[in-house]
Structure 1
Amino acid sequence: MDDDADVRSVVEATLSAAGFEPTGAADGSEGIERAVLERPDLVLLDVVMPHLSGWEVCATLRSLPETSSIPVVLLTGKSEIRDFVVGRQAGAVDFVTKPFTRARLVEAVEAALAGRDDARPEPLGREVPERRTRGLLLDALTGLPTVPLVVDALREKLLVDQDLGVFLIDVDAVASLEDHYGWEVLDEVVREAATGLRRLVGTLFSTGDLLAVSRPGSSALVAFVALPFGLGEEEAAARLGRKARQVEESLGALLGESLLGRVHRRLEVTVAASRLRYNPQVRVERLVERALAEAAAAASTREGERVVSQREEFAAILRRRAIETVYQPIRDLATGRTVAWEALSRGPAGSGFESPEVLFDYAARHGRVLPLEEICVRYSASRFGASEAGLLFVNVETNVVNELARGGLEVLGPLVALGPSVVLEITERGAIPDFDAFREGISALRRAGFRIALDDAGSGHASLHALAELRPDYLKITQSLVTGPHRDGIKSEIVEMLVRLGGRIGAVTVAEGIETEADLAGVRQLGVALGQGFLLGRPAPVPEP
């Protein structure tokens, strides 16, 4: 996609000569439409175009289920680091800076298509078998070797150390993560877990320990660690158990930092361990296979115990209706006046469900959303109704919008009674598989008198597609963009874009998580209308007019 006909002509001629079948589009709107209909193997996209910029087109392609997996390469005359970062955030896989050589263009296309062998011709005589073999030995997502690649090194370590600890590391229930957030977020979690594991070398792991992934594309990471010679069974088990707990805690903390704002729940890191002893009568490959199977069995047992404990704790919360609700003020950034309150519901303090993200994610995965929503809605409405404090924002997950619209409006009865002062805050934390049904659900909620807000705009989940479908009354900008826009040109550009988009559809913008005077001044200067955060007011048990 490029509005310059001469550039399109050069690109098409270059790629045709390299064995590809290019087709062009003159602007972003035409390009998006054709990408949805034709499903190309790759999109080459100019950054500076009229109406829709390349960044906006890229973000739109990433948000649509029909085009989300198509790699995008940006053609740009800009070469500043921040421009590349903005492109990465929008979802581009590579950049070609104008003016470019024909060789550079073909190289970028080949690299972007490296994971789509079935979708492209074989250019420039490169051998497919060699690349596929390399892919079996080195995991492209994590950059870690697969277990078969480290077998020779393990054989050498066993000859020296005789005894190794095998740690099988998994992050959360990967199927749940992918279903809830989409494959891109799951990939990011696995990639960050591998990065975090490397950062533990020098503390929990030594430089001689081996890190790997069980097989290409797997989320199961493996660490092979030397054990002191001559350990008895009990002593070895105790040592392995301590190390496993240390890795769980350290890796969990690292993931919490690196994925803040992307995954809205606490990630459970599970580390199970087994012992790998040298036996000259058994092939090393079989010894490794047995050790991994033992670690997997131990992980399964631990997971089963955790599942039972969680189920009992959650059932007790519903039975006792043990939900805590507090209210945080939302203020007009021009006048400082409180115009609304957000109801925040969470589990009992000190419990495993104290975090709202953990509480509602568990309810969604186990079909208990409506009983939980009924408690939260009743508590939120009863205390707010007596205060006459303005608008009330109440969170609703995207995956329950249809359920609420079909059979749950009775659950929302206490909020309906408050009239148009209620704003349902839609949190797009997961992939939306059926936008038609979702749109119908939103329409039903509007007919019941509710206003709509889109939460976490700019987080990567609150997509341009969702924004276009919802046409929300309020657009809440995620805290990760609100923090430090005065120091970060990329953040300020994204916030400005969201303010412009909000203006086009008549949505009032709200900055979340304002904690410093500098951040307040920054979002105010960028045109954001409303704000909330600890600087403007902490959550309180009862809203005050």
Structure 2
Amino acid sequence: MSEKPVLLIADDNEDVVQLLKVYLRPLDCEILVARDGEEALAVAQSRLPDVVLLDVMMPKRSGWEVCQALKAVQRTSDIAVVLVTARGDVKDRLTGLQLGADDYLVKPFDRDQVVKRIATLLQRKRTAKEAEPETPVRAAGMLLIDRATGLPTVPMVLDRLKEILIEQSEIGIVFIDIEQYDAIEAEYGWAFFDEFVRRAAQFITSEAKARFPNAVVSANLPGGSSFFIFFETRGTDVRQETAFDTMANELRQKLIDAMRQQFPQMQQGQIGFFVGAARIDYKPQIRLERQVYQGMQIAAAAVRDAEQQRKKQLTRELRDIIRRKRVTTLFQPIVRARESTVFGYEILTRGPQHSSFRNSDMLFTFARESKLAWGLEAIALECALRRLRSFDLGDRKFLLNLEAEMFSESEFRLHEVVSFFSEHPGRFVFELTERAAIEDYNVFRRLLDEFRSKGIEVAIDDAGSGYASLEAIAALAPDYLKITKSLVSTLATEPIKQDLVKMLVDLAGKIGAKTIAEGIETTEEYGACRELGIDLLQGYYLAHPQEQLGVGDREVEQSLASQWSAAAPGGV
């Protein structure tokens, strides 16, 4: 068999195929060709090429459909997918990223870029093959595997579970679910959350094997956030119900402690797990599969009860925070990328220090879910204005985040805020988050124009995500585009994200807006944002939110001074 890397070109345009063959000749690959989506999927499944170049607009199946099909199955999920298209707008690239594509090429091609990008993917494949020995999980072929953790899902281990139930006459089941997983992924991005889930799975597997030598660990669903541990109970000390509860609580606390240690950048209150346990006895008259799934439902039901109790407790806590106005206004510095000086601050609102709502995203996300957003926004504005009135604002900018839908609600009064902002023209920016659709852009644009006439600027939050649509950017003509954290996370190593950010930077230039990258946490992210031409930077890498403006300024100076040599790619 040839030792050459195998590359599949899937395109119904013969000229494009021949051009790519010429361009890729220096890489010395075995090149396969498919003329439509169905043929591309069949060839990829049979030959397992190292890289597939998929034309997005192919007959029978689109490149997006083929990409999704390849990435959804363990046997083909490691194939590097490059989407090839003449459509290079933000929406298309974001779609490719969400489907799991590894890179994106836009027609007409640049020879050097084609060779460079494909060579990078081939090298990544070679490195991965050398680093990862063949495992039973990989040999499972097309059976269901959770990609983030490598764990089998329940159907893959069902035969073993039936054997345990028959041999032991009973089986123990533990269900583990990540608490507020959606808030974590929303704040840090899917790549970060995948790593969080992977490490949680590693700890759960290690702890299960230590407690129960023959334990079976599985993911609940591919791409999910919950797990099952199945174990032999006969002859152990966990046969009593109270022992089960004790074991579940011990496992929960150990898991929380371990993950807090591995992710110190997260707020402690963000890391939590629900753990439920059950034991089932073998009943010959009932189908084995049904007995296992019923036991899983009992363990999961215990978790659902805990989740409901936790939600009720959080709702009571949030109502108390709103009633007593127990929020804190903080200021996180925003830094000029080239000059490395403080440009301004984002105004943030957090709950009390020792509450469950120390994180701003968690606070407002839960308020929306609990229908308490109005009350929270009102006291957040009140407290922010009180703090701002106590400062000498100087020549800095201040960005205040508000939901776009708040502007259209008559009971949500902004006159006090607008009045104060207009007293300091050019100092304040309304940062709009479009989580609900704007019904009439013309009306909303006139409202923003009124704000601008008073010296208040406008920013669109979460640019590059599903929320900040291109329609909103085009219709509202913002002064700033704030690039979402999910694009900034792992930006230095993901070409599709880099292309998306470049497009947003170009778009901002065309409409006369500045770009702000938020959520910068590493040297690599800092360097990538500067290289891509982003104007303004924000994140824990530079400074944490502070109650006093000067504290944040000093943290920025210290961060850049201590890490300058590593952080500056090619100098300023």
Q: Considering the TM-score relative to the shorter chain, is it more than 0.5?
A: yes
Question: 1:406 is matched with which residue?
Answer: 409
Measure, in 2, the Cα distance between the counterparts of 1:200 and 1:17: 40
Q: Is the Cα contact below 8 Å between 1:416 and 1:448 reproduced in 2?
A: no
| Matched position secondary structure for 2:385 | helix
The structural deviation recorded for 1:250 is 4.7
Q: How many pairs are equivalent?
A: 463
Matched, 1:246 2:254: yes
Q: Is the Cα contact below 8 Å between 1:377 and 1:415 reproduced in 2?
A: no
Q: Which runs of 5+ in 1 are unaligned?
A: 21-30, 86-133
Correspondence 1:351-430 to 2 at 5 A: 351-386=355-390, 387-389=392-394, 390-396=396-402, 400-407=403-410, 410-411=413-414, 413-419=416-422, 420=425, 421-427=427-433
Give the RMSD, CA atoms, in angstroms: 5.2
Measure, in 2, the Cα distance between the counterparts of 1:157 and 1:3: 52
Q: Is the Cα contact below 8 Å between 2:219 and 2:226 reproduced in 1?
A: yes
Measure, in 1, the Cα distance between the counterparts of 2:526 and 2:362: 29
Correspondence 1:37-436 to 2 at 5 A: 42=65, 53=88, 56=90, 58-59=92-93, 61=95, 77-78=114-115, 80=117, 138=144, 145-159=152-166, 161=168, 163-172=170-179, 193=197, 196-198=200-202, 200-205=204-209, 208-213=214-219, 220-227=226-233, 229-231=235-237, 232-233=239-240, 234-247=242-255, 250=258, 266=270, 268-278=272-282, 283-335=287-339, 338-386=342-390, 387-389=392-394, 390-396=396-402, 400-407=403-410, 410-411=413-414, 413-419=416-422, 420=425, 421-427=427-433, 432=435, 434=437, 436=439
Measure, in 2, the Cα distance between the counterparts of 1:173 and 1:486: 28
The structural deviation recorded for 1:324 is 0.5
Measure, in 1, the Cα distance between the counterparts of 2:116 and 2:249: 50
* CA shift digits 1:295-317 (9 cap, x unpaired): 13312321232122112111110
Q: Is the Cα contact below 8 Å between 1:42 and 1:72 reproduced in 2?
A: no
| Matched position secondary structure for 1:348 | coil
Q: Is the Cα contact below 8 Å between 1:164 and 1:226 reproduced in 2?
A: yes
Measure, in 1, the Cα distance between the counterparts of 2:256 and 2:167: 28
Measure, in 2, the Cα distance between the counterparts of 1:316 and 1:357: 18
Measure, in 1, the Cα distance between the counterparts of 2:319 and 2:200: 34
Question: 2:36 is matched with which residue?
Answer: 15
Measure, in 1, the Cα distance between the counterparts of 2:82 and 2:191: 27
Q: Is the Cα contact below 8 Å between 1:193 and 1:251 reproduced in 2?
A: no
Instruction: Report the TM-score when normalising by structure 1.
Output: 0.66
Q: Is the Cα contact below 8 Å between 2:350 and 2:357 reproduced in 1?
A: yes
The structural deviation recorded for 1:425 is 1.9
Measure, in 2, the Cα distance between the counterparts of 1:226 and 1:524: 55
My pick for the range that moved more, 303-312 or 454-463, is: 454-463
| Distance verdict in 2 for CA 1:370–1:438, change over 3 Å | farther
| Matched position secondary structure for 2:413 | coil
Question: 2:450 is matched with which residue?
Answer: 447
Measure, in 2, the Cα distance between the counterparts of 1:48 and 1:293: 44
| Matched position secondary structure for 2:409 | helix
Q: Among 494, 505, 513, which residue is 1:499 paired with? A: 505
| Matched position secondary structure for 1:321 | coil
Q: Which runs of 5+ in 2 are unaligned?
A: 1-9, 21-32, 42-54, 68-80, 123-140, 554-572
Measure, in 2, the Cα distance between the counterparts of 1:74 and 1:535: 29
Measure, in 2, the Cα distance between the counterparts of 1:237 and 1:392: 50
Letter in 1 for 2:307: E
Measure, in 2, the Cα distance between the counterparts of 1:70 and 1:356: 29
Measure, in 2, the Cα distance between the counterparts of 1:370 and 1:395: 14
Question: 1:119 is matched with which residue?
Answer: none
Q: Is the Cα contact below 8 Å between 2:144 and 2:222 reproduced in 1?
A: yes
| Distance verdict in 2 for CA 1:455–1:160, change over 3 Å | same
Correspondence 1:464-475 to 2 at 5 A: 467-468=473-474, 470-475=476-481
Instruction: Report the TM-score when normalising by structure 2.
Output: 0.63
Q: Is the Cα contact below 8 Å between 1:370 and 1:411 reproduced in 2?
A: no
Q: Is the Cα contact below 8 Å between 1:373 and 1:411 reproduced in 2?
A: no
Measure, in 1, the Cα distance between the counterparts of 2:158 and 2:523: 55
